Amino acid sequence: MMRPLTLFCVPILLLAATDPAWQTKPIAEWSQEDSVQVLNDSPWAKKVTPKVLKAPDSVRGGNIAQLGGMGIGMPGMGGMGGGMGRHGGARPQTSDTSSSTAASSSTPPSLTIRWESALPLQAAELKSRNVNAPSMDEDHYAVAVYGVPSHAVNMDSAGLNEQLKGQASLKRTGKKDINPSSVEVIPRDDGTLIVYFFSRSKEITKQDKEVDFSAQIGRFLLSVPFETSQMTYQGKLEL
């Protein structure tokens, strides 16, 4: 006995109903809600919790505060952090401060990772009137990490940008990694923003299927997959 055709149509209708509204509308017709969704929950934007590297035995416990949460700048593990003065002297800290800093340093934050150079991302920031959005150029892919805690990086480190650059890449199966050509570190009230720029001379296509953004920021390790099949808008791959 043949089943009614309507039974086979239901799954298709349900799948269509789950498509986000912004996918089916021109950018000019996006609402504020559409823009917020693109910026926070879309193929170009993901919220992640990084893995945290263990601190060496010598700086565990209360002593971790004296290294500012093991921020970037210290060879191998990221840097001499905010607990060190500009001239190398350790700032005195109370036991209460040490305990508080150690706790905050060991708790991984929730970070937002955005493929910042993608047209939908740029459009959503413009629609949202985000005047603090990082500047882009046509020659680079850009991946931005939002909400990095201040204790994770040492803004006074002269080699901060170079160290961050050397600890990040875009990975594709069967191809060489794409290393960043530059990194920009931007202090903000809601946490440090780090933007990684990758040359478009090494083209990423739909055939790559998945591109993993990998980075180390102090003791935080990130590995974030982006699926190229989903990073399309009105049929075009947008990176």
pLDDT tens column, 206-230 = 999 999 999 999 999 999 999 999 9
Signed CA dihedral, 44, 47, 51, 52: sign only: positive
- Is pLDDT at 188 greater than 70 in this prediction? yes
Contact 115, 57 (CB under 8 A): no
What is this structure's pTM?
0.74
User: Domain coordinates of the chain in residue numbers?
Assistant: 25-53+109-237, 57-106
The whole-number pLDDT of residue 156 equals: 76
Q: Which residues of 134-155 are buried (b: 16+ CB within 10 A; e: fewer)?
A: bebeeebbbbbbbbbbbbbbbe
| 89: confidence class by pLDDT, cuts 50, 70, 90 | very low
Q: Which residue has the higher pLDDT, 36 or 156?
A: 36
The whole-number pLDDT of residue 122 equals: 94
- Looking at every residue in the chain, the average pLDDT score rounds to 77
